[in-house]
Every structure is written in structure tokens, then in C-alpha cells.
Copies of this chain bind each other. A is one copy, B any other.
């Protein structure tokens, strides 16, 4: 790995250096794992307070962090600086622009400049690959797929025929794009009948899709993922779904058929969205949440999905249900006593318990 001087790093990050500009830094690490040749980043005052334990040679910190008698680079936005720092120290490995002799590339494929295709990859008839596209080993690209400039398709990805993928898209291993949507009807005898799935999948620029995801082709028309959206691993996206720009979809989320999701949404892990639901811009859905109706805005959690603040109270009370139950039982006893006293006071003794307390079958 190539090292950089603290002065170079400070200049690269547009930060204010306090310390030795000539000191050479060899890597980036977490504060606990950093050694005496590493730089580390603290994102907030709390982490800054514990930085004494770190052996790091230098620290990147927020402008407002307190004084510290060490090498410090102060920056306006430590998270942004962290991204720039990682890109500086760990640049993307260059891959040779070459087609491996054991790749299988159809004669009618249209291969751009600087494309790399790994051994065992299968490029079907009529595929178009833009400049600089990297296809790793054992990828399958079906007939007529088009992939834009600079995209990377990692090993063992499968892209079914007719899929359109934009520029700078990254698709991680094991992901399947464009297999059939789950369109099944039952005939008069309840036997299953498959509805042919003849639509497509369109993935816009700068989308990243994690490993072992499934994005189904549309029945008719297209399943669409808009530019800038990032998808984690093992996510299911059904037929005819549309996801807007710059969403974050966390691992194991399931999005049923024909769901529409706006821009800038966050869906946390294992959340599920019922078919045909519409979700507005900027909606946030919590982990394991079950969305069964349209959501216009705001943050939602629970099953069924509730506004987050409400849900926190609901689930707090859920855990207290045994206590609430005891309260109800106590209230019933108190009402029994009150009724008994009142009857005794008014009528003298009676054998007639006319209250509705026998409703309690608990």
C-alpha cells in the first residue's frame, strides 16, 4: 500500500492540520485497531473523548472537537472526509481491459472500449457493454442485455435477457436480475396456472445492488430502479415494482409486485411491503415492519406499520400487557366490592349479583 504524508492528507481533505505535516501515514483504521502508522477518524465528541486509548498516529476530527495534544486534522464533515480518505488509500484495483480466452462471447455482442470479461462469463447474442464495463468470471448476461459505461458485474451474477442497466452500476455476486415475476392464478379446480412474464427490468445509473438479491421482470412493461438507489443483500423486488431515486433498501427486505416507492426512502432490514402499495418520497420504514397500506410520508415501524412515535408507545405497552391485565382484574374486584357495599348499604343483604362481571372468562 502507498503511504501519504499528513500534509498531503490534510490538503486532500481540505482540513486544518495541527501536528507534523511530514509524518507518513500508511493506512486507515478504527480507533481501536489503528497502529502507529495509521490514521483514524472520529465522528463525534463522544468518540473524541475516548481517543486517548487509540495508538493511531493521527486523528481526523470535527472542527468543534476539543483540544488534544496529538496530530489532528480538523474537517467540516468527518464522514465525508472518511469516504475521501478511504478512496485515497484504497483506490479501486485496475483490471486489465481484456476478454479472458475462456469467456464465451457471442459474435453479435457489442463490446465497448476497455471492457474486461472474466473467464467462464457467458455473454449472449446482442448484448451491449459500454466502455470500461467489468464483467467478472461466471457471470451470465442473457440475449439483448445492455450495460452502461463503467458498470461492474461481480462473479456469478445472472442477468436475464432484455435487461437494461445504466452507467456506474455495481451488481454483487449471486444476484439475479430479470427472472420471472411470481404471477400465478388458480383455475376452476384451484390448480396453479402460470401467467407469462414478458416485461423487462430497467436499472438506472449509479445504482448498487448487493449479493444474492432478486429483481423480477415485469409481467408487462418494466420493473424500474431509479438512479442512485442502493440495495443491500438478499432483497426481493417483485414484478412491476418502481423504486425512486436515492433510496436505501437494507438486507432481506421484501417488496411485493406493483409497489411504487418514491425518492429518498429508507427501508430497514427484513421489512415487507404488500403488493400494490404506494410509498411517498422520504418515507422511512423500520426493520421487520409490515407495510399493508399506502404511506405518504414519515417514519413507520411495527406490524402493521404505525407512525414511529405511536408504535414506540404501542410496543412499550405490549410488553406491559400482563400488568395491564392485572389492573383490569383488580378493577373488576374493586367494582365487585363497590357494588356489594352499595347494595348492602341500600337494600341490606342480597343474593342477587346482577353485575356483568361474569363476562370475564379469563
Contact = CB atoms under 8 A, between A and B. Distances in A.
A155 B155 contact: no
Nearest to A270: B272
A172 B212 CA distance: 13
A155 B177 CA distance: 11
Contacts of A282: 190
Interface string A313-344: 11101111111111110111111011101100
A307 to B, nearest CB: 10
Interface string A202-241: 0000001011111010001100000011101110101000
Contact of A158 (B33, B156, B248): B156
Interface in A158-182: 158, 160, 170, 172-176, 179-180, 182
Interface stretch (A17-25, A57-65, A115-123): A115-123
A330 B250 CA distance: 42
A158 B176 contact: no
Which among A198, A212, A216, A252 has the highest number of chain B CB atoms within 10 Å?
A: A212
A190 B264 CA distance: 7
Contact of A30 (B104, B158, B193, B221): B221
A257 to B, nearest CB: 10
A216 B214 CA distance: 18
Contacts of A191: 228, 246
Contacts of A143: 93
B321 A318 contact: yes
A297 interface: no
A359 B323 CA distance: 9
A320 to B, nearest CB: 7
Interface stretch (A4-12, A45-53, A67-75, A76-84): A76-84
Contacts of A339: 334, 338
A236 B248 CA distance: 16
B90 A198 contact: yes
Nearest to A120: B120
Contact of A356 (B317, B324, B334, B355): B334
A295 interface: no
A98 interface: no
A240 B38 CA distance: 19
Contacts of A233: 176, 179, 182, 214, 216, 236
Given A154-B179, A172-B179, A212-B213, 15 more contacts: A29-B220, A29-B221, A104-B119, A104-B120, A184-B230, A191-B246, A210-B214, A310-B322, A314-B322, A318-B321, A320-B362, A326-B359, A333-B356, A334-B355, A342-B342
